[in-house]
Structures are given as structure tokens and as C-alpha cells.
Chains A and B, each alone.
Chain A
Amino acid sequence: MKYVAEFRDAELVKRSAELIRAEVSRPWTLMEICGGQTHAILRYGIDELLPEEIELVHGPGCPVCVTPLEQIDKALALAALPNVIFTSYGDMLRVPGSGRDLFSVRAAGGDVRVVYSPLDAVRIASENPDKEVVFFAIGFETTAPANAMSVYQAARLGLKNFSVLVSHVRVPPAMHAILGGEHNRVQGFLAAGHVCAVMGYWEYPPIAARYHTPIAVTGFEPLDLLRGVLDVVKLLEAGEVRVVNSYGRAVTFQGNRPAQDLINKVFQVCDRKWRGIGNIPMSGWGLRPEYAAFDAERRFDVSAIQSEESPICVAGQILQGQLKPPQCPAFGTLCTPQHPLGATMVSSEGACAAYYHYNKADLLSEVKHG
């Protein structure tokens, strides 16, 4: 496939790993922020190729995992209402709220539909004028433009039966929270290439400078990931603190301006709770007052729903890179994708699910012939 297969070339991958090996003189701990990258790393076994001095820890960039429990409980309450068509990205259906998930709401008669694009939800609203259509607008900067577009379009079409339950999160404040945390181990960052394709990376030089941590904007294919690792390792070894763009074919410094303009037109920065981590100031987006009519929390009066999670759930430590999934006592035994104890085991981008699906280290060393 064009622009994909080339970046999975086995020979080039091996050579890239050798280049990294040649640069490394001591141990370094790097974090890839994005759950999509965590999955690519484990799916291709990139961690196996790296020299042992390099430790990759996995960040909180799984939008499903960090959506707070109370937003999910609000979604479940909305989806169960008789006149509501509740629309969502597919991943969210499996995430547990307090005792239920969207699958069970659907099985009990709720009209829950998976959409591939929020604009499909707008279409469903215009085709069903006698129903209320709610879209679960979650995700990072990657989904924000399309989610903003759905509200913008609904406003332009004058739709009175469309609303969004917003739980948007932003990456840079999470990087502040991780690097400023008292247990931080991260020495270099692989910034999420898809987020930067939208937002650019103008927000990152102040973060690098403040925490003295080099950052490489990194893509998702094996060669992209190794290039990001190589660039950060070079900076670390040279004692340089900068932001480099290791994903130049998709990312510019300024990012996608029309997309950013659309986000800013519809959303404004707000504080946001992250599941497993807690409140991070300025880390979310909510609807601007001029679009308040599209706020499902106001329309259906679910804003009173409050749910609290235990502060000792280890998913939080995993999302902050302090623990790796196999270090959790429940990993792979009591907690599996079939019987998840936490959202990190549920989502296709969650770190625990990635370890479980791709990388049971104890099994991989055991291949025996005949």
C-alpha cells in the first residue's frame, strides 16, 4: 500500500534499529503519548528491536481510557431515554460505567448506534426529526475538528434535535501533568503525530524547555516510530533540549489551521477530569456559550450525575507511565479483554489491551518445533 508498506520495510527497520543502537551510551526512558503508537509498537514488536537501554513507557493517549466515569454514566443515562438515538464511536460501547455499558443499554432496548463519523450522527438527526439524536463527542485533538464540524453543521442546518455529550481532552496539558508529577520517569517524549497533524507543534517548545525534556513529533508506522526514537535519543545523548519533527510527511509547525479555527469556533478550553488520573487544569474542550443549545448535558439535565472512582486504581499509574501493564497483579489473569477491570484493558488503544493482545512475553520465548 502506498505510504504504508514502505514504512514497514523489514530491512530498513533493522537498519534503523542499528542506528539507534549506535547512538545509545546509557539508559533512557521515553514515553510515547499516543495509544495508537503503543499498539503499533507492540503489534510490530518494535520494543524487541530496541537496545535494552531504551525503555518505552506508555502514555495516556487513549481517548476511551481517559474518558471519565461520570461522562460514561451520563452517556448511559442518555442512551436509555425512550426518544433518544445515541450515537458513538464504536470503541466506547464496551467501556464500563458504574455497572453497565452501552452494549447492555442497547440490549435492554436503547437505540445505540455506532457511527464512523460525527457527520453521520448529524445525518441521522436530519432523517429522524421526531427523535433526539445525541453524539458522544470524545477524543483528543484528532477527533475534535470533525466533532466541532458536526455541531457547526447542525447549527447551519438549524437542527433542533441534535446535541453532543462532550468529553474532549488535549495532549499538552497532560504532558505538563506527567512531566511535573512527583513520580515522573520520562526523559524524552514521542509526541503524537496525528494530534500534531491537526494542531502543529507550536505548543511543545515551552514544554520541552520547562521540563528540560526533548520531544520528537512521531508517526505510527514502524519506521516512523524508530525515527522518533532515534531523534530523541540523539538529543538526549547530546544534552540538547529541542522539539524535532520526525513526521515531516504529515506534520507542520503550524498544523492544520482551518481545523484549528473550526475547533476554536465551536469549543473553548476548560478543566477536564481524566479517568484514572484526575482533574487536569485546562486539559479539555467544552462547547462555547453560543453553541450551548447543542449541549446534551443541558438539554437532558444529566449534569447532576456524579460518579467517583477509587484513587488507587492502577490504571491511572499505567496511563501516566509509572507502571507497565504486566506489573499489575491482575494483568492477564483476573483482568482480560473479556473480563476487563479497567478501561486500559477495554479499548483497542489501551496499553493493557495492547500487551494482552500482542505481547505475552512468556509465550513468545517458548516456540518449540516438533
Chain B
Amino acid sequence: MAETMKTSLEGMVCPVPLQHQERIVQGHGSGGKLMHDLIAKYFVAAWDNPMLNAGNDASVIATQGAARMAVSTDAHVVTPLFFPGGDIGRLAVCGTVNDVAMLGARPLYLTASFILEEGLEIATLEKVVASMHAAAQEAGVQIVAGDTKVVGKGMADGMYISTTGVGLLAEDTRIHGAAAQPGDLVIVSGSLGDHGIAVLAARGELGFDTDLESDVAPLNRLIAEMLEASQNIHVLRDPTRGGLATTLNEIARQSKAGIVVKESALPIKPAVDAACELLGFDPLYIANEGKLVAVVGREDGERVLEAMRKHKYGKDAALIGEVVAEPAGRVLMQTLIGSHRLVDELMGELLPRIC
């Protein structure tokens, strides 16, 4: 950069905000860029290894035998603990089952550790544990080990659950975030933003009632159907925190390709759309807990869509876009009125607009 430009920028004393390098802020857990930067700078840098560095929802590890294993771990915090469509227990099982399944692996076993706040009602714990059991049965996995710690009143928000999952990968399965290729089709398994808006509503933060339910669900059986229908699935990823926009940006960046989505093709429920309009949110950045994005070879697009639509968690599956060569690492949207715009990833915390 030219020397003169540097000088003029030093003259510009627009106050530079803290880069939040000294303390954790809420935005570090948002699923957006702030979180990715934290992970890259502090975790990946310290633990540097090829499996972690691949940057997928789960890691593939080689074992002594012939089989390859997928492993993933996820901590779950949510307020309130129970919300329409789910609870922290179902979330803790589905979140990890889905992360393992997104590599195309068959999830088999989970472990769970609990951090419980002093004063939590045993009846609440019982309900959560039963919900975990039901979700595990639905997914066909077993919870085989656990741990419990109790912290003082006020040191946790009811309970936190961390789960780790392992699954087996078929020998020829190579599904990961860097595998999208120009020409591939981009499919989403159903409506976007239901979980995030349902949880906001359950917190009483919307100021109005909605019938929306969280979409939290185990997607491994849906994925098994998809893999049955096609050998040509390149990427699977669940757009949780940070929403579809952030997930598509991750895939574009990892695959060094561009993604173009059609605004008119995005499945968004009217209630989610309306809540977002009112609050100044964009549904593309709202969390989902029972949806997946699939990047599929063009010739298999219809076959995969058809298989998805037969499954209860994929019945609203939609073709939303395609992978292009350029601009690499970027996501573009063809708007309702036919123009194009950039779709950026979430930065820090999702904030409602003032007016």
C-alpha cells in the first residue's frame, strides 16, 4: 500500500473499536466470523493436526482395523431449556448425531457430560434425559458414557450438555466441506430459520406469539436415504448457528469455488419471514437444528431431491442454487428482482435493527 495512503489513514481517527482480543464476548459464540477467527487463532493453532485442520463438522480418523471412524463433539447451551419443538436434551443428541452424519458416516455411539446448576429441579433433569433417550432411539444411536458436574447457584444457566459422537464411514465415502465443484447443485432439506425464531419466541423476545416450532431433528436416516440414491453427494453440512449464509460461505471458502443461490427458491415460512421483517433479521443468518445443505453432482440432483422428499425431515427439500468457478470463496444471491448481491457470512452476534 502506498505510503501516502497510510498517512491519510492514520489521520482518520474514526475510533477503532476493541477487537475483543482480551475477553470473550457473546459474538465469539455466534457461529460467525468472530467465532471462526477465535477457533483458528487459539484452538487450531495450538492443536494443529490434519484432522482438525480440515475444518469439517466432524473429523475422520483411521483405526487399526479397516473401518474409518468419524468423531465430533458439541456443547449445548440454550435458554429456555424447553422450547416449542424441542429441548436442550434433544438438541444435544441431534446436534452431535448430525455433525457425525454430515461426513456421510453412520452415527453409532454418543457420550454426554452434564454441567448442572445447583438448585436445578430433578424433575427437569429427568425430562431432559428422557428426551435424549427418545432422540437417540429415533437416530438409532446409544449413549454409552457420561459425566456429571454440579456448579454453584448462578454459575450456570440451569444445565449445559456436551456430547461426543462416533460413527462409521463406508470405505468409499468422501464427503467433506472442500468437495464442492463448479456445476454442482445446492439443495437445502427444508424451511430456514425455524429453530432460531422459535427459541426467540419462547424467550418472549418477539413481543408476539407464533405457532413456530424448532426443527431440531436427527438427520442421519435422511442422509442414509440420500446416500442410497446417489454416490455423487459432495458436501453435506447443517446450517446451525450463523444460518445458511454462513454455512454456504464456509463451503465456498473450503472448496475454493463460488456459490450462487436464487432468492426466490429459498424455502422460508411466512411466520419466520414476518418475524425477521419486524425485527430486522435476515432469515439466512438464523439458526437451524434439523436442516442440511447438500452439494450434489448436477446429474444426480433430481434423484437426491426425490429421495429427500420421501423422508419426513426432507419433504420440503428445495434446489436453491449452484456452484460456480468464480468468484471463488464467495456466495452470491440472485435477488427476487433479478439483480445479484453478495451474501456475506455472519460477523459477530446477530443484532436486531433499531427501526
Q: Which residues of A contact B (CB under 8 A)?
A: 1, 4, 8, 10, 13-14, 36, 42-46, 48-49, 63-64, 69, 89-101, 103-104, 106-108, 114, 116-117, 138-140, 142-143, 194, 222, 309-310, 312-315, 329-330, 334, 337-343, 346, 348-349, 356-360, 363-364, 366-370
A363 to B332, Cβ gap below 8 A? yes
Q: Please list 26 pairs of residues, one from A and one from B, whose beta carbons are closer than 8 Å in the complex, sorted by A's number.
A: A1-B274, A10-B337, A45-B338, A45-B340, A90-B353, A91-B354, A94-B351, A96-B15, A96-B16, A96-B17, A97-B15, A100-B17, A310-B12, A313-B14, A341-B12, A342-B14, A346-B17, A348-B353, A349-B353, A349-B354, A357-B344, A359-B342, A360-B342, A367-B258, A367-B340, A369-B324
B20 to A104, Cβ gap below 8 A? yes
Q: Which residues of B contact A (CB under 8 A)?
A: 5, 8-9, 11-20, 23-27, 33-34, 37, 182-183, 205-207, 258, 260, 270, 273-274, 277, 279-280, 324-327, 330, 332, 335-342, 344, 347-349, 351-355
Give the top 10 A-B pairs by smallest Cβ distance, nearest first.
A45-B339, A96-B17, A90-B351, A342-B14, A368-B326, A310-B13, A358-B341, A89-B354, A107-B23, A142-B355
A103 to B349, Cβ gap below 8 A? yes
B330 to A363, Cβ gap below 8 A? yes
Bound-complex Cα distance A89 to B342 (A):
26
Bound-complex Cα distance A369 to B184 (A):
10
Bound-complex Cα distance A19 to B75 (A):
55
Q: Would you give the shortest CB distance from A193 to chain B, in whole angstroms? A: 12
Please give, as numbers and ranges, the residues of chain A lying within 8 Å of B27 by CB-CB distance: 103
B18 to A104, Cβ gap below 8 A? yes
Given contacts A99-B15, A338-B34, A368-B325, contact A222 B354 (CB under 8 A): no
Given contacts A43-B335, A49-B339, contact A329 B351 (CB under 8 A): no
Q: Would you give the shortest CB distance from A147 to chain B, in whole angstroms? A: 11
Q: Would you give the shortest CB distance from A245 to chain B, in whole angstroms? A: 20
Q: Would you give the shortest CB distance from B153 to chain A, in whole angstroms? A: 18
Residue in chain A with minimal CB distance to B5: A329
A367 to B324, Cβ gap below 8 A? yes
Residue in chain B with minimal CB distance to A119: B207
A69 to B274, Cβ gap below 8 A? no
Residue in chain A with minimal CB distance to B339: A45
B342 to A69, Cβ gap below 8 A? no
Please give, as numbers and ranges, the residues of chain B lying within 8 Å of A13 by CB-CB distance: 337-338
A369 to B337, Cβ gap below 8 A? no
Please give, as numbers and ranges, the residues of chain B lying within 8 Å of A103 by CB-CB distance: 18, 20, 25-27, 348-349
B26 to A341, Cβ gap below 8 A? no
Please give, as numbers and ranges, the residues of chain A lying within 8 Å of B26 by CB-CB distance: 103, 106-107
B338 to A10, Cβ gap below 8 A? yes
User: Of A91, A341, A348, A366, which one neighbours B14 at CB under 8 angstroms?
Assistant: A341
B340 to A364, Cβ gap below 8 A? yes
Q: For the A-B complex with A100-B18, A143-B355, A343-B14 known, give 20 more contacts whose Cβ atoms are closer than 8 Å.
A: A10-B337, A45-B338, A46-B337, A90-B351, A100-B17, A107-B25, A108-B23, A140-B355, A313-B13, A315-B14, A329-B8, A330-B9, A341-B14, A356-B344, A357-B342, A358-B341, A363-B327, A367-B327, A367-B332, A370-B324
Q: Would you give the shortest CB distance from A48 to chain B, in whole angstroms? A: 5
User: Of B18, B205, B327, which one neighbours A366 at CB under 8 angstroms?
Assistant: B327
Please give, as numbers and ranges, the residues of chain A lying within 8 Å of B342 by CB-CB distance: 357-360, 363-364
Please give, as numbers and ranges, the residues of chain B lying within 8 Å of A315 by CB-CB distance: 14
B14 to A36, Cβ gap below 8 A? no
Residue in chain B with minimal CB distance to A329: B5
User: Of B12, B20, B339, which one neighbours A46 at CB under 8 angstroms?
Assistant: B339
Given contacts A104-B25, A359-B342, A367-B327, contact A314 B12 (CB under 8 A): yes
Q: Would you give the shortest CB distance from B191 to chain A, in whole angstroms? A: 14
User: Of A92, A107, A366, which one neighbours B20 at CB under 8 angstroms?
Assistant: A107
Q: Would you give the shortest CB distance from B46 to chain A, in whole angstroms? A: 22
Q: Would you give the shortest CB distance from B291 to chain A, in whole angstroms? A: 21
Given contacts A103-B25, A103-B26, A140-B355, contact A338 B33 (CB under 8 A): yes
Given contacts A10-B337, A367-B326, contact A309 B15 (CB under 8 A): yes
Query: Which of B5, B14, B351 lies at the interface centre, i.e. has the most chain A CB atoms within 10 A of its CB?
Result: B14
Given contacts A1-B270, A367-B258, contact A339 B19 (CB under 8 A): yes
Given contacts A101-B18, A343-B14, A364-B340, contact A91 B351 (CB under 8 A): yes
Bound-complex Cα distance A90 to B330 (A):
27
Please give, as numbers and ranges, the residues of chain A lying within 8 Å of B9 by CB-CB distance: 329-330, 334, 341
B205 to A116, Cβ gap below 8 A? yes
User: Of B19, B280, B354, which one neighbours A143 at CB under 8 angstroms?
Assistant: B354
Q: Would you give the shortest CB distance from A254 to chain B, in whole angstroms? A: 21
User: Of B270, B279, B324, B352, which one neighbours A368 at CB under 8 angstroms?
Assistant: B324
A337 to B347, Cβ gap below 8 A? yes
Residue in chain A with minimal CB distance to B298: A370
Q: Would you give the shortest CB distance from A216 to chain B, in whole angstroms? A: 20
Please give, as numbers and ranges, the residues of chain A lying within 8 Å of B348 by CB-CB distance: 94, 103, 338
Bound-complex Cα distance A343 to B354 (A):
14
Bound-complex Cα distance A354 to B5 (A):
23
Please give, as numbers and ranges, the residues of chain A lying within 8 Å of B326 by CB-CB distance: 366-368
Please give, as numbers and ranges, the residues of chain A lying within 8 Å of B324 by CB-CB distance: 367-370
B273 to A1, Cβ gap below 8 A? yes
Q: Would you give the shortest CB distance from B12 to chain A, in whole angstroms? A: 5
Q: Would you give the shortest CB distance from B203 to chain A, in whole angstroms? A: 11
Please give, as numbers and ranges, the residues of chain A lying within 8 Å of B341 by CB-CB distance: 42-45, 357-359, 364
Please give, as numbers and ranges, the residues of chain A lying within 8 Å of B34 by CB-CB distance: 338
Residue in chain B with minimal CB distance to A140: B355
Q: Would you give the shortest CB distance from B180 to chain A, in whole angstroms? A: 13
B23 to A104, Cβ gap below 8 A? yes
Please give, as numbers and ranges, the residues of chain B lying within 8 Å of A90 by CB-CB distance: 351-354
Q: Would you give the shortest CB distance from A309 to chain B, in whole angstroms? A: 7
A369 to B15, Cβ gap below 8 A? no
B338 to A69, Cβ gap below 8 A? no
Bound-complex Cα distance A97 to B13 (A):
12
Please give, as numbers and ranges, the residues of chain A lying within 8 Å of B17 by CB-CB distance: 94-96, 100-101, 340, 346
Bound-complex Cα distance A222 to B337 (A):
8
Q: Would you give the shortest CB distance from A250 to chain B, in whole angstroms? A: 14
